[in-house]
Structure 1
Amino acid sequence: MGELALLQGNALAFLFRWIHLLGGVAWIGLLWYFNFVQGEYFKQAEAASKSDAIRKLVPRALWWFRWGAMVTLLSGLAMLGAKHLTGYGIIVGSTLGTLMFLNVWLIIWPNQKIVIASAEKVAGGGEADPAAAGALAKAGLASRTNTLFSIPMLFFMASSVHLSQLATPVQQAGPLSLLVVFGIILLLEINAIKGKTGPMTSVKGVIHMGLLLTLVLYLGVDLL
């Protein structure tokens, strides 16, 4: 009996891609749920309903959210290694995805734990943690930035298959292109750490900004 087809050559890369898609659907789906649905609900919910959701719903959603991010990252790295992908488009998408992963594990999750613990304390008759409001703001800014990044990230990931001009090896990119594209990404990530939501504050705003960022990065990659 021969070796399983899924353990050979390109089939193994396909297996990594399938796992990558499963993790990505869970991760980005929950990211958009938090930003487009839950956040808007919390603005209108009564205090008791909001507290109940923070203590019982949010921790469950965050578990799938952060581990979906982990599966996506690890399978993506495996896929990059298996296929030796170096195209400019996939590198831009991977950079955005990696920053999003770091935002999840280093900013969103640690700060959400403070918010959840504070809600538990209040529900038990105690006082709210004074740090909870600031933690919520930090998590919210990073989450909004991830939503912003997710739109061009998905575009550039798909470009590796469908837009051949973005498959040019990143080593062949011009210095001005590299400076513009990765400089913009870096500035936005710095804002995610210590800035403000600005035009990303509303759902409509973050979607529009995500589409605009996609266009700007595409032009930076394709034209410079």
Structure 2
Amino acid sequence: MNPLASIKGVWIAGLLVSVVLAMIVNLAGGNGLLAFDELAFVRWVHIVAGIIWVGLLYYFNFVQMPAVAAATADQGGPGPAAIGKYILPRALLWFRWASLVTWGAGAWYLVQNDSLLDVFTLGLTGGDPDYALPMGIGVWLGTVLLINVWFVLWPNQKKLMGLAPSQGEADLAKAKKTVASVARINAVLSIPMLMFMVAAPHGIPL
């Protein structure tokens, strides 16, 4: 069976390649074939999920929203219905759950690293301020993004997709405006979020 023929196959193949390469690196480093680093594993999950989450955020803002606007304005074209019916629900599914996995894996990493409280208090309770302050800013920005995804964007998207009741055209128009505005806000906040999360171990590039 060709693993590239399905999304599940791609995930399985990617994980298998990762495990095989990790084993090779472990052997080359003299650490044993199945050496397991929980912190490294959680960080890996955090990064992969974060790429999916932020990648879809940028897709919505930089690709789908302009494309829907262009399709709506094209009087002789196919219209945006296909995007709303086939693409948007799947994209939102991956988007929502990737955000939750990203945040959860990141929080678990900080717990295992004994730095959750220091990071969330921006270093005011202790820890290395050169790590806790920038990481804390990144974590709080990510938390705002997560809240927006689940408690602002998703409830309004459900109205627009007919998955939740609305109060008529005015309510739908308000939901559409809210989704567009909050998606843009999340896109803006994601840029400093990524900078500060990388800054904690590597320094602020300014």
TM-score by length of 1: 0.63
Separation in 2, partners of 1:23, 1:101: 13
Does residue 1:37 correspond to 2:37, yes or no? no
Q: Which secondary structure does the structure 2 equivalent of 1:134 belong to?
A: helix
Does residue 1:107 correspond to 2:152, yes or no? yes
Structure 2 unmatched ranges of 5 or more: 1-31, 120-131
Task: Indicate the residue corresponding to 2:89 in structure 1.
Answer: 59
Moved over 2 A (4+): 2-5, 46-49
Structure 1 unmatched ranges of 5 or more: 119-127, 167-213, 216-224
Separation in 2, partners of 1:94, 1:36: 24
**Greater relative contact order (CA < 8 Å, ≥ 6 in sequence):** 1
Task: Indicate the residue corresponding to 2:185 in structure 1.
Answer: 145
Per residue, is there more helix in 1 or in 2? Answer: 1
Does residue 1:70 correspond to 2:70, yes or no? no
**Structure 2 counterpart of 1:144, which letter?**
R
Does residue 1:5 correspond to 2:35, yes or no? yes
Q: Which secondary structure does the structure 2 equivalent of 1:91 belong to?
A: helix
**Equivalent residues, number:** 153
Q: Which secondary structure does the structure 2 equivalent of 1:117 belong to?
A: coil
Task: String of CA shifts for 1:187-218, please: whole Å, max 9, x gaps.
Answer: xxxxxxxxxxxxxxxxxxxxxxxxxxx97xxx
Task: Indicate the residue corresponding to 1:95 in structure 2.
Answer: 140
1:50 to 77, 80, 104: 80
Task: Indicate the residue corresponding to 2:44 in structure 1.
Answer: 18
**Structure 1 counterpart of 2:174, which letter?**
G
**Structure 1 counterpart of 2:188, which letter?**
L
Task: String of CA shifts for 1:156-194, please: whole Å, max 9, x gaps.
Answer: 00011111xx7xxxxxxxxxxxxxxxxxxxxxxxxxxxx
Does residue 1:117 correspond to 2:162, yes or no? yes
**Structure 2 counterpart of 1:52, which letter?**
A
Does residue 1:159 correspond to 2:199, yes or no? yes
**How far apart are 1:52 and its partner, in Å?**
2.4
In our comparison, the structure showing a higher alpha carbon Rg is: 2
Q: What fraction of aligned residue pairs are identical, expressed as a percent? A: 37
TM-score by length of 2: 0.68
**Structure 1 counterpart of 2:79, which letter?**
S
**Structure 2 counterpart of 1:41, which letter?**
A
Separation in 2, partners of 1:53, 1:130: 23
